Each structure stands twice: as C-alpha cells, then as structure tokens.
Amino acid sequence: MAEIELKNIAHSYNPQAADMTYALDPFNMTWVDGGRYAILGPSGCGKTTMLNIMSGIVQPSEGKLLFDGVDVTTLSTSERNIAQVFQFPVIYGTMTVEQNLAFPLVCRNYEKSVIDAKVEEVAKALSLQGLLKKSASRLTADQKQLISLGRGLVRDDVAAVLMDEPLTVIDPDLKFRLRRQLKEINQKYRSTLIYVTHDQNEAMTFAENIIVMDAGKIVQVGTPAELFDRPKTTFVGYFIGAPAMNFFECQAAGGYKLSIGSAVIMTGTDLSKVGSAPFKLGIRSEYIRIVEVKGANTFSAYVQRVEDMGNYKLVTAVFEGHVIKVKVERDIAVPADSVELQLPAENCCVYAADVLVS
C-alpha cells in the first residue's frame, strides 16, 4: 500500500518519429493511499496506457513515478508489487482454477497455509469454490474473468489494484454484485483501487474520485458531485450525466450577466475580468425549473416533446433556436405549448473557450 505519485509523466508510442504524438500528454497526478478511483474517458484517450505505466508494463517516455516518495520508474513490474486486471480474461490455461488464483502468491513465495487461506477467501468472495479443481481453460468467459479478478485480489499487500474495464464481459446481474463486492474488499483492505470504465454510472456509484480523461489529457479530477455540478470543461459536461449538460452560446452582458438571445441571465460568476472570449452557459437539466410566472432568470420556451422516462419526465424545449432539455418530476404537469423556464444563478456554469470560469 502506498501513495502513488506521477510526476510530469508523459508517454508516446512513437518517440523517435518525426511526427511524434503523445498518447498521454505530460501531467501530474497523485493517488491517495487507500483511495477508490475511477478513470472515465472515451476510447483511445490513454486510460490503459496510464495503468500500464503505473504497473510497469509500459515505460513512460518522460517523467517519474513515485511510490510513497520512492522513485520506482525503473523498477520492474514484479518489484512494484501491483495487481492489475485486464479488460479481457487472462487465464493460465494449463492450470486449475485454484492454481490460477494461487499463482501470484506462489510466485512471491508465500507460505502454503497463507496461500490456501487466501485462495479460499477470494474464491468465496467470487463464488468460485465449486470450480477450484477444474481446469481454467474449460470455463465460460465470465468465469474466466472472475479468475482474472481473483488473481488481482489475492494479495492484500499490493501498492494498488488496477482494473481496466474488468466487468465488460460480465452480465449485468453479476456485474452489480461484483461491483459491490469490489467496494467491500477495498474498504476491508484499504488498498488503492483504480478502476477504468466507460460506464459513468459505474464510475459514479463506485468511486470516491473520478478522473475524466480526453485525448491524452486529464481534464478533471473530482468527486461525482463536483463532476456533476461544476464540470471543468464542456467536454466533461457532455460526457458526464444523462442527458448531457445543456450549453448555450451567449454574450457577456456586464457584471455577472450573460445574454442568451433576448434573455438576460444572472449567473454566479463575475465575468467582468474575463475578456470577450466566446462564452457558453452550461446548466444541468436537473437544475432547470418550470415556473408559473415570469421573473428573474426566466424565459419562455416552446415545448417540443415530453418523454416519460419512468421515474422522471424529460422535456425538450426550444428557445430562439436553442434546444433545452429539462428533467422534471413525474407528477409535475408540463404545459403543452409554452413554458416558463428558470435557470437558478447558482447552478449556471460559465465557460470561456470551453473552460469553466471560476
């Protein structure tokens, strides 16, 4: 167990080429010991590369990796003592399930009694007890992935457990149970857990902190609430939340005010110091209110569509060419044609050149 610090780490898969490109742009990041993190980002943004750098499978082209302040950049994978689970099942096909689970401990010369106890504990957590004596090559895909997970969990002294979309091949029912189990195991051993996923719900429910990445960059690190309420860039706003955050092109209207077409909106952000960059106003559809009377921060929009999503209604409205999505509770009556929408100032995020103005 350790605090993991990445210092000016960057990676390129073609460092010598004339048109060198970074798969990971230079960045700094600290993973607190015992933290439970999720890395979220679109395909190809560098998530796997980041994990592989931490585990030592990939040598970063630049920068340093510190475990509890000790430089481990040049240490081999096995010396770093990290557990990693890949997206697709990796099993040792010539061994039994039991031997598979024991392998990380056997390689590190643990005592037989410790190994047996640990294997049994993990097998129980993952409901693999009945399969222990079976050859690992004769299992189904999700059983194989459970073994991969199990091998990642048998050692409780690891610096961190890295999981690269480990539940992709597992069916939803089992997924739900496993997610809870992983959380419990993490809470029990307090090992740092870093979990790559492309499923934001998984990230939101699972992690204490979420790292959002895009095109080789970390765009935001924060709690699920922070990511939801104050996305640092419009990308995060689009990427997190369903539906995506509403964004409006707008102009500065002096002080804290912005104008969207003919409507003037008071925001919680002082815009007088910011230049005249193209502004965008972002607001979650959860925070937009339907009101009876015109007032501050309101405008009337034309209702295009109302969808019943079960536990809430999703209203699509149009205001001077801007499409607005509003989430309202199921029992609120939505007028058929025109509604007054209110954007509460404290929920308005202002973006200059797609970056949050704070």
Partner 1 sequence: MGLLYSTLKYLAVTLWSVFVIAPFLWAISTSFKDFQSVTNGATYIPWVDFEPTLEGWRALWKSPAQGGVAIVEPFFNSVFVTAAGSAISIVLGTLAAYALSRFTFKAGPIRNGDITFFFISQRIMPPVVLAIPFFIMLGKFSLLDTLMGLILVYIVLLMPIAVWIMVDFFNKVPREIDETALIDGCNPYQAFYKVVLPNSIPGIVVAGMFCMIFGWTDFFFSFILTFTEVQLLPVAIVALNSSITPWWSLSAAALVSVAPLVFVAFIVERFLSKGNLSGALK
Ligand X SMILES: Nc1ncnc2c1ncn2[C@@H]1O[C@H](COP(=O)(O)OP(=O)(O)OP(=O)(O)O)[C@@H](O)[C@H]1O
Q: Residue 23 binds which entry of Mg ion, partner 1, ligand X, none, with Cβ cut-offs from 5 to 8 Å by kind?
A: ligand X
Distances (CA, A) of 40 to 81, 101, 174, 207, 349: 24, 28, 21, 11, 21
Out of 9, 10, 23, 125, point to the residue binding ligand X (CB under 6 A).
23
At residue 34, the 3 state secondary structure works out as coil
46 binds ligand X (CB under 6 A): yes
Task: Please tell me the distance from the alpha carbon of residue 131 to that of residue 300, in angstroms, as a whole number.
Answer: 63
- For the chain, how many residues are written? 358
Spell out the alpha helix ranges (H) of the chain: 47-55, 77-80, 97-107, 112-125, 141-153, 172-189, 200-206, 224-229, 234-239
Half-sphere CA count of 188, side-chain side, radius 13 A:
12
Q: Strands 4-11 and 279-283: what pairing?
A: unpaired
Out of 2, 11, 35, 48, point to the residue binding Mg ion (CB under 5 A).
48
Out of 30, 59, 78, 304, point to the residue binding partner 1 (CB under 8 A).
78
Q: Residue 55 binds which entry of Mg ion, partner 1, ligand X, none, with Cβ cut-offs from 5 to 8 Å by kind?
A: partner 1
Q: Residue 88 binds which entry of partner 1, ligand X, Mg ion, none, with Cβ cut-offs from 5 to 8 Å by kind?
A: partner 1
Q: Using omega within 30 degrees of 0 as the cis cutoff, is the peptide bond preceding 243 cis? A: yes
Out of 33, 92, 256, 287, point to the residue binding partner 1 (CB under 8 A).
92
Q: Which of 44-52, 142-150, 231-239, 251-259 is the region at the interface with ligand X (rule: CB under 6 A)?
A: 44-52
| Beta bridge partners of residue 352, listed in sequence order | 279, 355
Closest contact distance (angstroms) between CB of 179 and Mg ion is 19
In the complex with Mg ion, the residue whose CB is nearer, 47 or 284, is: 47
Q: How many chain residues interact with ligand X (CB under 6 A)?
A: 10
In the complex with partner 1, the residue whose CB is nearer, 16 or 276, is: 16
Closest contact distance (angstroms) between CB of 13 and Mg ion is 13
Out of 4, 83, 125, 128, point to the residue binding partner 1 (CB under 8 A).
83
Out of 18, 19, 43, 329, point to the residue binding ligand X (CB under 6 A).
43
15 binds ligand X (CB under 6 A): no
132 binds partner 1 (CB under 8 A): no
* Residue indicated by tokens 């419990």: 184
Could you tell me the strand order of the sheet in which 4-11 lies?
Answer: 24-31, 4-11, 62-67, 70-71
Q: Residue 111, class by beta-carbon neighbours within 10 Å (0-12 exposed, 13-18 middle, 19+ buried)?
A: exposed
Q: What is the DSSP string of 75-124?
A: S-HHHHT-EEE-SS----TTSBHHHHHHHHHHHTT--HHHHHHHHHHHHH
Closest contact distance (angstroms) between CB of 28 and ligand X is 18
* Contacts with partner 1, 150-169, as mask; x by CB under 8 A: -x------------------
Can you give the binding site for ligand X, defined by CB under 6 A? Answer: 13, 23, 41, 43-49
Can you give the binding site for Mg ion, defined by CB under 5 A? Answer: 48
